[in-house]
Chains A and B, each alone.
Chain A
Amino acid sequence: MIQVENIQKSFGEAHILKGFSTRFVKGKTNLIIGTSGSGKTVFLKCLLGLYTPNKGKILYDGVSYNSLEEQEQRDLRQKMGMVFQGSALFDSMTVFENVRFPLEMFTKQSKLEMDHRVEAVLKRVNLDGSENKLPSEISGGMQKRVAIARAIVTNPKYLFCDEPNSGLDPKTAIVIDNLIKELTEEYNITTVINTHDMNSVMEIGEKIVFLKEGFLEWEGDKTQIFQAENQAVIDFVYSSNLFKKVRAAQLKGL
């Protein structure tokens, strides 16, 4: 579980995160949503330890990142997996080498053990057969799956995803969303996903945190979001025509 207490982050005069608390539940897919400029990315980078909050605490299973020594911080980071918006695969490495990279870096496993683990993870994300391809030779959806495989290969306790289905067609996006949800349950990981995709919210929003202008405006789950009274949430959720029709039908009691 990740617990956030009164987090504040500023860059010079610009106050990005203005003080809020929340918690991200273990074994569930936790979504951070909000419009552009709401502070989602800065919040995610704080959770990853890339930015240090000016005030407040982030507790990873009760341990505050900022109270740790440098080596302990690095050890904690190695328990985190990250799926970047653009996949961020190392383009000089094959799919297999990309997934094996964290094992080579941080474990003392033998080559055989590493290879077995990589094969198992690639099979889990349905990528067996693409091991020797370079990232440039596979589709965007496959790249996302490689990124997920690389993120989970070390059995992380925390998985962070930055807009994991951006740039993907709706069908592939749902496949990726469901894969993340399945892996979260299977590995019992605390997963935090940064998104503004309402389809993802509908698919995997087990815990949703809605940010607006650096404040936590609303939190709940995917069923509660459609009954939310908060105007900012209503504006966000019903910004697309499809969801406007859903809203209109709801108001009519259909």
Chain B
Amino acid sequence: MRYLHQIGAYFLMLKRVFGRMTKPKILRKLIFKEVDDLIIGSLGIVAFISFFIGAVVAIQTALNLTNPFIPKELIGFASRQSVILEFSPTFVSVIMAGKVGSFITSSIGTMRVTEQIDALEVMGINSINYLVFPKIIAMLLYPFIIAVSMFLGILGGYVAGVQGGFVTSEQFIAGLTDDFTPFHVIYSFIKTIIFAFLLATIPSFHGYYMKGGALEVGKASTVSFVWTTVFIIVVNYLITQMLLS
């Protein structure tokens, strides 16, 4: 029953997000700030993780190719498929649920605890629109992060595969381009857009409706991470079922 209530409250919050709008001049400033905090601020960690995970995927694929009849091109092929289909859109989103999600929950939660949200409401401002809408708009740039992640993941695989002597450059590139299905990229970006919306709204919900003090802000961040991850994983399954099977 409690979960149903929470889901209902989440959708009511979404209704208010798109309700009475904040002045465009103010919104513009807020959106740029959110782009800086949520997108630009995440590039470094996403680039680092993507490069090395791509490298590890290539090495592990190479080490498991014990059968001489399996062509070495498979290393490039496997790197591409695993990075584009799952690692970049899904697992980077889970990492982002920890990084961006916790940031959103704790910043909005702190505003709740310190009465800053009440101050907005008293002024007659739609506080949910003021706080959440700019985050949703900023997260429309999330596919850019995922595109960077895909590129660096595959680059990491290439560098590790070639420099490690597991595969030649020509073999890796041949595997990379072999049997390429452009729809897989579209599928990934469809997932990414939905995950971006979840990453902006679920942590905002947990921050906005939290009650208590500093300790509860920490708890809300943890709960928000768990639920954002759960929804990403479930939605990932549903979209894959709908689009790929």
Interface residues of A (CB under 8 A from B): 48, 50, 73-75, 77-78, 80, 82, 84-86, 88-92, 102, 104-106
> How many angstroms between the C-alpha atoms of A46 and B86 in the bound complex?
52
Q: Is the CB of A88 within 8 A of B123?
A: no
- In the complex, what residues of A have CB within 8 A of residue B25's CB? 104
Task: Kindly state whether residue B178 has any CB partner on chain A within 8 Å.
Answer: no
Q: B-side interface residues toward A, CB under 8 Å?
A: 22-23, 25-26, 33, 110, 114-116, 118-119, 121-125
Establish whether residues B121 and A105, one from each chain, have CB atoms under 8 Å apart when the complex forms.
Answer: no
Is the pair A78, B26 in contact by a Cβ cutoff of 8 Å? no
Q: Which 9 A-B pairs have the closest CB atoms?
A: A77-B124, A88-B115, A74-B124, A88-B119, A82-B122, A84-B115, A88-B116, A78-B124, A86-B115
The reply to whether A104 and B124 form a contact with Cβ atoms under 8 Å apart is: no
Chain B residues within 8 Å of A78, by CB: 123-124
User: How far is it, in angstroms, between the C-alpha of A231 and the C-alpha of B121 when the chains are bound?
Assistant: 38
Contact A104 B119 (CB under 8 A): no
Q: State whether B114 touches A50 (Cβ < 8 A).
A: no
Which of chain A's residues have a CB closer than 8 A to the CB of B122? 48, 50, 77, 80, 82
Would you give the shortest CB distance from A49 to chain B, in whole angstroms? 8
Asked whether, in the complex, the Cβ of A82 is within 8 Å of the Cβ of B119, the reply is: yes
The count of A-to-B residue pairs whose CB atoms sit within 8 angstroms is 45
Residues on the A chain within 8 Å of B110, using CB? 91
Q: Is A50's CB under 8 angstroms from B123's CB?
A: no
**Residues from chain A with Cβ under 8 Å of B115 in the complex:** 84-86, 88
Query: Within 8 Å CB of A91, what residues of B?
Result: 110, 114, 116
B118's contact among A50, A74, A102, A105, by CB below 8 Å, is which?
A: A50
Contacts of B22 in A (CB 8 A): 105
* Chain A, Cβ-Cβ closest to B119: A88
List, sorted by A's number, 27 A–B pairs whose CB atoms are closer than 8 Å. Answer: A48-B122, A50-B121, A50-B122, A73-B124, A77-B122, A77-B123, A77-B124, A78-B123, A78-B124, A80-B122, A82-B119, A88-B115, A88-B116, A88-B118, A88-B119, A89-B116, A90-B119, A91-B110, A91-B114, A91-B116, A104-B23, A104-B25, A104-B26, A105-B22, A105-B26, A105-B123, A106-B124
Chain A residue with the shortest CB-CB distance to B23: A105
User: In the assembly, what is the distance between CA of A50 and CA of B120, in Å?
Assistant: 11
| Contact present for B114 and A88 (CB under 8 Å) | yes
CA distance A102 to B22 in the complex (A): 12
Tell me the smallest distance from the CB of B18 to a CB of chain A, in Å.
Answer: 16
B14 CB to closest chain A CB (Å) equals 20
A112 to B115, CA, bound (A): 30
